Structures are given as C-alpha cells and as structure tokens.
Amino acid sequence: MTTELAITLAAALIASPLLMNVGYWLIAIYEKRYKYPELIAVFLSNGKKCFGRVKKITRRELHLQDIYYLTSDPLNIGKVLVKLGDEMHGPEDLMIINKDHIIFFEKLKAEGKIAQAIVMHHQIMSEKAMPRKAKT
C-alpha cells in the first residue's frame, strides 16, 4: 500500500463519521454559542421549517418548545404563522426532532418579522389569561 493511499483511507475514515453527523455538530456548536431561550428557525430535510426555543439537546435529538410554523392562508393571501397546539388534533407544545433531519438552523433577530409576531402572540395570550377587574 502506498503512503498516499494510506493517507487517503485514513482521511476518509476520519471524515465519514463527521459528515454523517452534521446535525449533531451543528447543535453542539449552537449549545456552546447561544443560550436556550433565544428563538431559532429549524430547517428540516422534508422542506419544512419551524420556529421555537430549544428546551433540551441530546446526542440524537433536539427538543423544541414554544413552536410556530408557517402555513398557507386559506384565503390565499399569503403565509400565516401558526402556534403548535392550536391544531384540531391538539398536540403538546413540544417537538422532538431527530438530528438526522436537521439541515441547518438560524438564530432569529428580535426585530425580525417572525420573532415580532411570536412576541405579539405571547402578549395577546397573556392579556387573555389575566382576570379582568369588575367595574364598580
């Protein structure tokens, strides 16, 4: 075996596990750089994207909470931001995503349209939850 072939095989053996675990490495980098409460956009291998806050990261999964996603408006006006849990089947506000299905993710800016819409939704929901004082 020549030296060049041995080096190529060694490089392939080292690189292949790294390439197969891209989602794992992306999350590991995120875990070190960002704090969990920040909003992120997660782009999935099926073409869908969701927005939320990281609750937990395991070796194989990303646990996302406070989840929103975009869907087409029934009146075809544009896209609508939907809170996970408001659907007819009533899922819990937790999504466990296999890291193999994560293409990439982005931290959302506070002044971005999605982040502002999420903050506005939280404000509306907290106002609805507050008991109103009776007028005397």
* Helix H or strand E encompassing 38: none
Per the confidence metrics, is the pTM higher than 0.85? no
Residue 24 has pLDDT above 60, yes or no: no
The count of other CB atoms within 10 Å of the CB of residue 106 is: 14
Contacts of 93 (CB under 8 A, 6+ apart): 65, 66, 67, 83, 84, 85
Residue 113 half-sphere exposure toward CB, CA atoms < 13 A: 5
Confidence at residue 72, expressed as pLDDT on a 0 to 100 scale: 80
Residues forming beta bridges with residue 83, ordered by sequence position:
68
Confidence at residue 1, expressed as pLDDT on a 0 to 100 scale: 55
Cα 66 to Cα 6, 47, 84, 100, distances in angstroms: 49, 20, 8, 22
- Domain range summary for the chain, segments of one domain joined by +: 3-129
Confidence at residue 84, expressed as pLDDT on a 0 to 100 scale: 87
With CA atoms as reference, report the closest residue to 79 among 135, 52, 31, 117: 117
Confidence at residue 93, expressed as pLDDT on a 0 to 100 scale: 86
Confidence at residue 45, expressed as pLDDT on a 0 to 100 scale: 94
Average model confidence (pLDDT) across the chain: 78
The CATH number for 3-129, chosen from 2.30.30.100, 3.30.1740.10, 3.40.605.10, 3.40.190.10, is 2.30.30.100
Q: Report residue 34's pLDDT band, with 50, 70 and 90 as the boundaries.
A: low
Strands 79-83 and 102-107: unpaired
Residue 107 has pLDDT above 80, yes or no: yes
pLDDT, tens digit, 9 for 90 and up, residues 50-72: 999 998 888 899 999 999 998 88
- Cβ–Cβ < 8 Å for 55, 36: yes
Residue 10 has pLDDT above 80, yes or no: no
Residue 21 has pLDDT above 70, yes or no: no
Question: b vs e for 68-88, b when ≥16 Cβ sit within 10 Å of the residue's Cβ?
Answer: bbeeeeeeeeeeeeebbeeee
User: How many percent of the chain have pLDDT more than 70?
Assistant: 67
